Amino acid sequence: MKLKYGSYTLTISTGGAAVAISSQPRRDSTGRLIGRTERWTISGWLVGADAAALTTAINALKAAFAADGQDLGLYTDADVATSHVITNASTLGGVRVTEMPSFPEGKGAEYANQRSFQVTLEADFQDAGAANLISFSEHVSITGTGGPRFVVQVPLEGPIVSQVVSTATPVIVTQSGSAIGLTSCPTVPPPLLSSGEHFDRRRVEQKNPQRLADGSYRNTEISWAYEFEVATPSAPPPHNWGS
């Protein structure tokens, strides 16, 4: 059995390495499955006839795992792919080296005819059926009751006077929220009220997406706010997720 990372090959059957593979689900803010993160921990020892041979093997190992974005996989000695193969193009953001080669042992035969090592890699995968919308939140606030407005007059002398200046007042309704799209920007929901909007106060803000190591992008966030001025203190409830 052998392990390949890019053009580098580690012969496990003679090199004494072990490959542990774990997979953790990736979920959106509601707990829905949107993909998984696979982690490979490769540990063992390099072997060589002497210190010079080990130095060559160590330098090759370090050079191989100094870069992200390579294909990774286990192959038979006949170079046949096993079920444990990751192509960089199939991942979300590329294969990442999360722990470069480390050498945890320093006793016994270390650097005489063997050298212990460990390296860790990770890759994210997106579920084929995952929805683009991974986060959505909207809320409505109502300021005022539509009731009378009064002012308090403070005379130079004498008691304070409370005076009603209008028997009715406008109600301010604000609708605001935000959403995140996994691979593209979500659509802004429409205003909840059909009239009374201050169009000059409508606000839509879009943040730049998260840039991944391979140059691709994900997690684009957009936010919005509508302001209405109406006569009664009522408004429809906020939009449900993505509706």
Domain end call among 126, 156, 186: 126
- 34: CATH: 2.40.30
Please indicate, yes or no, whether residues 19 and 108 belong to a single structural domain of this protein.
Answer: yes
CB 10 within 8 A of CB 2: yes
pTM of full prediction above 0.95: no
Please indicate, yes or no, whether residues 56 and 141 belong to a single structural domain of this protein.
Answer: no
Please indicate, yes or no, whether residues 119 and 19 belong to a single structural domain of this protein.
Answer: yes
Which stretch of DSSP H or E encloses residue 13? helix 12-15
Rounded CA gap, 227 and 175, in Å?
7
Structure tokens at 148: 């009378």
Per-residue pLDDT at 241: 85
Nearest to 135 by CA among 28, 32, 211: 28
**Spans of the chain below 50 pLDDT:** none
Which stretch of DSSP H or E encloses residue 31? none
Structure tokens at 243: 């509706």
CB 175 within 8 A of CB 168: no
Please indicate, yes or no, whether residues 103 and 13 belong to a single structural domain of this protein.
Answer: yes
Per-residue pLDDT at 128: 84
Please indicate, yes or no, whether residues 13 and 91 belong to a single structural domain of this protein.
Answer: yes
Is there a domain that residue 242 lies in?
A: no
Per-residue pLDDT at 106: 74
Longest CA span, the chain: 105
Q: Which domain holds residue 206?
A: 133-230
Sequence-distant (6+) residues with CB within 8 A of 28 are: 34, 134, 135, 182
